[in-house]
Amino acid sequence: MLGLAGTDLVLPAIPTLPNSLAGTIEQAQLVLAAYAAGSGIGLLFFGELGARYDQRRLLMASLAGFAVLSLLATMTTSVLALVGVRLLQGFAGSAAAVFAPGMIRKMFNEAAAMRALGLMGSIESMVPALAPILGAWLLIYYDWQISFVIIGALSAVLAVVWLFFPSLLPSVRSTQSSQGYGTLLQNRQFQNYALSQAFTLGGLLIFVFGAPTVITLSMGGSLSDFVIMQVIGIAFYVASANLVGLTVERFGAQTMILLGSVMGAIGFSSIFAYSIWGANNPQVLWGLFAISNLGLGLRGPPGFYNAVLAAGDNDARGAALMLLYVLMTAALGTAAVAPFIELGLMPLSFAATLVTWASVALVMRTNAS
């Protein structure tokens, strides 16, 4: 949750950064892209270390570094300096995404572990909806630095608690050191599943990262419009994700992966069409954005499961590599859109549309093979 809050709690402050720090609105978008890029690199790093060392100690070190860098971010005086700190912050905070699923599996039997993983996923899905609300409220009464202070302090508390009470976490060391990332890069089935998952989720993140700036500066809306859009989208995601067990049982995993991918692409295509029409009402985005979230909920769980299954015994590194693809898609897409962000909704929605239709193409390629 703290790793996700590193993006979503900070998100409302992005349009205001050029007023507080030396920099431009285009550079402010890189604050988001740098965090995603750093997280992606960290995933590979911690995925490899987790195969060799006790993951509890790695997680505590990760949290301590995340806390220090969060507080260091509050001391920056320019947007570009903040971008550099955010790259390192994302790197330091990525261990939990790699280690948490394995730790949960170690703590419970198979049935209970599945329930715990589902609960973790549901809690995580709330962060993009609730954190921007808290971030916007904090921005009204404080300044952009307060979000970094909060996530830094909470990370420090966790690191200290687990340092003195290590038994709260299970001791996990991966046994999959015989296979490296090269094996996964040569696994075509895994690559198709992982990249299609990354393009659907990454396309959504590209849009979310740019939406506050577009809504407030180009569409005449407010941060409230963005928050409501997020809440509606997350609600649709949670609803469809909780029904996916029934839908997969009835229609099959491949059908739901394809259907969800197509719905995600249709949602952003509709937003792109609206941008061509004029895009003068942010409230229209509420319903169109929900379509893409509904699609992600339908394809997310079976897509993730099939990718890990295709990785075989190398599933820990497979999960890390798939998350890397998600974050790098978001980072590269956000960086590509940043120079055009002042042009409004059209370039942002076009990028999300292009990436999500690429996901559909990969799913169809997988089904054909």
User: 34-63: per-residue pLDDT in tens?
Assistant: 888 888 888 888 877 876 777 788 888 899
pLDDT at 264 over 90: yes
Angstrom distance (rounded) from CA 247 to CA 70: 41
- pLDDT at 179 (0 to 100): 66
- When mean pLDDT is compared across 49-63, 82-96, 153-167, the lowest value belongs to 49-63
Instruction: Single out the residue in 114, 132, 167 at which a domain terminates.
Output: 167
pLDDT over 90 (residue 10)? no
Rounded Cα distance, 146 and 143, in Å: 6
On whether both 2 and 94 belong to a single domain, the answer is: yes
Q: Is 185 exposed, middle or buried (0-12, 13-18, 19+ CB in 10 A)?
A: exposed
Q: Are residues 297 and 267 in the same domain?
A: yes
Residue 237 lies in a domain: yes
Are residues 303 and 353 located together in one domain of the fold? yes
Higher-scoring residue by pLDDT: 110, 126? 126
What is the distance, to the nearest Å, from the Cα of residue 257 to the centroid of all Cα atoms in its chain? 19
Domain count, the chain: 2
Q: At a CB cut-off of 8 Å and minimum separation 6, what does 5 contact?
A: 127, 131, 147, 151
Whether residues 68 and 91 share a domain: the answer is: yes
Express as a percent the part of the chain with pLDDT over 70.
90
- Of 167, 202, 231, the residue at which a domain comes to its end is 167
Whether residues 187 and 154 fall in one domain: no
Q: Are 204 and 293 in contact, with CB atoms under 8 Å apart?
A: yes
Contact in structure between 342 and 212 (CB atoms under 8 Å): no
Do the domain assignments include residue 173? no
* Residues 201 and 157 occupy one common structural domain: no
Pair (161, 221) in one structural domain? no
Q: Which residues have a Cβ under 8 Å from the Cβ of 355 and sit 6 or more positions away? A: 199, 202, 203, 206, 329, 333
Question: Looking at the domain assignment, is residue 304 inside a domain?
Answer: yes
Q: Which of 167, 196, 222 is the last residue of a domain?
A: 167
Are residue 132 and residue 261 in the same domain, yes or no? no
Q: Which residue has the tokens 């890397």?
A: 324
The CATH code of the domain that includes 293 is 1.20.1250.20
Q: Residue 312: left if φ>0, alpha if ψ -120 to 50, beta else—which one?
A: left
Token digits of residue 205 = 């993140």
Domain of 136 in residue numbering reads as 1-167
Q: What is the pLDDT of residues 296-343, one digit of tens each?
A: 888 887 787 778 778 776 666 777 788 888 878 888 898 888 888 888
* Range with the poorest average pLDDT among 8-12, 77-81, 210-214: 8-12
Residues in the chain, overall count: 369
Mean pLDDT of the chain: 83
Residue 172 within any structural domain of the chain: no
| CA distances, 284 to each of 71, 97, 99, 280 (Å) | 38, 34, 39, 9
Q: What is the pLDDT of residue 110?
A: 57
In a domain, 176, yes or no: no
**Whether residue 17 is found in the same domain as residue 131:** yes
Range among 13-22, 202-211, 241-250 with highest mean pLDDT value: 202-211
Domain membership of residue 321 (yes or no) is yes
Q: Is 340 within the bounds of a domain?
A: yes
Q: What is the pLDDT of residue 313?
A: 66
Same domain, 140 and 186: no
Domain co-membership, 5 together with 102: yes
**Residue 49 counted as domain residue:** yes
- Residue 15 binned pLDDT confidence (cut-offs 50, 70, 90): confident
The answer to whether residues 158 and 284 belong to one domain is no
